[in-house]
Chains A and B, each alone.
Chain A
């Protein structure tokens, strides 16, 4: 049985000649917290909007909870809580009106849960929406996405504009819902939060998924962060290295290749100390987005990780 809650098969969206997303294959399993990583313009929001039926796929398929997003859009959206990256609401309405309108559109009475969420996020429900800061608009959006306790949460850049305390509260709420069995997709370019909260992740670049797997797999890929202390001036890194930096006799580089060859190479150079460690996800991400990443791209498509 297919356990994917969100599934895309060769999903492509083009805007005329402009790229949206290209042949995206992605599966988010039930009960997962899935990180969707990429810089602005990579195609994260396009993918999400296609999955939610706001825009039509050029080709390929997208399913949520086993339902095709086009024909079953209404059924899908009844079970999804979505928070857009840039929330805008109707002028003249108060926060409480927007939250109540959202609940009425779902034909649900969520007043008690909405009140609880507002209290936890420190959101004043009496304020007019046009007077809200970006952070407070985000809070309204969080309440609208969570008040009906859906099975699936999709958050697009949820923490931008939120202060650290509210970010902490947001993730506490998210983990509570996850513990209750919900599936979460978290689109972000804040890599630390993906590494901290997500179990699986995919990296999207220029509309294509270039790597996917568990966060640990992505971090513990074949690449290693090598720091060599006390090297001489003519130091050159071994072949298979990138992101090389040399400062005050301390060299650092990402090494991708045979570890025996690295050890043999180290034996031939003079140094005081050496550290070989897994790169964090930020380094993995930068690795994919660095200039000349085509090579890494090809390897990722073949191997699914670095």
Chain B
């Protein structure tokens, strides 16, 4: 576990910063709820008249005058985008940074197999994402308490689980990309996360591209599809797990064979 512990130490500061920023934004968003609740009738009417954008952001299925509806729309966006970028950044750098920062020659001339290196780095990615999500869930719960709003626990935990799965899927795909890409990998990772987010919006806007829901993990992590029925789309979640597993197999097999740039 030497490599795992090393990666956790290397990413500790970044993890704390992201947790504070996303957690803080969750708290700020939820702090606005009492004011929104008072104007909910007007806001719901306004959001309902936004045409296709009403559906794109799930405001036709969530009532922002209710705590869970507001949480889904506002916090869902913050946690969705912030968490996805964090996962993409972490995943895309994990293998490639050894080459871009010229530490690969140091690491890989020690008696460690490349499989072990990749496995321990992946474990660090998973641990960081889990810690971030635990911190965000704790901030969310504290924020509900702060505004004296009741949590509907089942959809809350399903939403948190979906966010975690989505971030793990993005991290795994970026981890695989990391085995191929050296320089410029961060841009690729963040761009990939942004693309997936917009694919979900596009899928919500038009039935003609409904198949995009099978591509982007934002589809199954969308609060508008989880909160109303307190359920996850098992097909989409299953596909997401499949994509992640395939990505990991590719990552390890490529990394084990590739020529290391030093």
Contact = CB atoms under 8 A, between A and B. Distances in A.
A268 interface: no
B208 interface: no
A87 B106 contact: yes
Contact of A54 (B10, B103, B257, B259): B259
Interface of B: 2-3, 6, 10, 101-113, 257, 259-260, 262
B101 A54 contact: no
A52 B259 contact: no
Given A49-B262, A73-B113, A75-B111, A86 B10 contact: no
Contacts, number: 63
B109 A82 contact: yes
Given A75-B111, A101-B2, A55 B106 contact: no
B105 A78 contact: no
Contacts of B3: 105
A280 B101 CA distance: 40
A235 interface: no
Interface residues of A, number: 28
A105 B112 contact: yes
B260 A104 contact: no
A89 interface: yes
B106 A91 contact: no
B102 A86 contact: yes
Interface in A34-79: 49, 52-56, 73-75, 77-78
B256 to A, nearest CB: 10
A90 interface: yes
Contacts of B259: 15, 54-56
A77 B260 contact: no
A91 B102 CA distance: 11
Contacts of B103: 88-90
A105 B103 CA distance: 14
A77 B2 CA distance: 17
Interface string A75-114: 1011010101011111110000000011011100000000
Contacts of A92: 10
Given A54-B259, A88-B103, A89-B103, A101 B6 contact: yes
A79 to B, nearest CB: 8
Query: What does DSSP make chain B's interface, helix, strand, loop or mixed?
Result: loop
Interface of A: 15, 49, 52-56, 73-75, 77-78, 80, 82, 84, 86-92, 101-102, 104-106, 144
Contact of A52 (B6, B109, B113, B257): B109
Given A53-B108, A89-B106, 7 more contacts: A15-B259, A49-B262, A54-B105, A54-B262, A74-B111, A80-B109, A87-B105
B111 A106 contact: yes
B254 to A, nearest CB: 13
Max chain B C-beta neighbours (<10 A), residue from A54, A74, A102: A54
A70 to B, nearest CB: 10
Given A56-B257, A84-B262, A90-B10, A106 B110 contact: yes
Contacts of A86: 102
24 contacts: A52-B109, A54-B104, A55-B260, A73-B113, A77-B109, A77-B111, A78-B111, A80-B109, A82-B109, A84-B106, A86-B102, A87-B106, A88-B101, A88-B103, A88-B105, A89-B103, A89-B106, A90-B6, A90-B10, A90-B101, A92-B10, A101-B2, A102-B110, A105-B2
Nearest to A80: B109
Contacts of A56: 257, 259
A78 B109 CA distance: 9
Given A90-B10, A106-B110, A84 B105 contact: yes
A77 B60 CA distance: 61
Contacts of A73: 113
Contacts of B106: 84, 87-89, 102, 144
B113 to A, nearest CB: 5
A105 B110 contact: yes
A222 to B, nearest CB: 39
A209 to B, nearest CB: 22
